[in-house]
Structure 1
């Protein structure tokens, strides 16, 4: 399964998610950001590639819908409601990500 994690700048939340979930068998994981200054900026290629897209906040879902509206039908887009309060690989962020993502993906944590 191809999983894309999206946040604003692709520096803390989505990059942490990519790092922790890329080790799971059966998951091909990437991450991107919605802002101009993102480390890796989301493209139509990312959206087309992904089976499931996890956005950290509602604004990320909105930005994707504005930019890639024609590509999103049929895609599973899930908002995790994780605020921009965490640094890269923050222990609390890792626990939240594992808990919320495991509700949607069949993985053994």
Structure 2
């Protein structure tokens, strides 16, 4: 897992053909606003989170975020344990995001 700054993360997402943006916040947080194109899988759901993550294509590159960067760092670590080689954490999370927000 690698932590990326906002600028590194944006550039990587734009330049990665198979990029998947993954929001690991709660559904309630997600509904309040999310980074466009993000898929929401709530890390607080424990085993259900792992079950959903394991349905994802491990060959793709995942850009993971949460509110502040802590849950997404944990999610990246869990994904790595599950065999995902390319999972990147957004440092500062959506709180520090200065890009577009969808609702």
Q: What TM-score results when the alignment is normalised by the length of structure 2?
A: 0.48
Higher relative contact order (CA 8 A, sep 6+): 2
Q: What TM-score results when the alignment is normalised by the length of structure 1?
A: 0.46
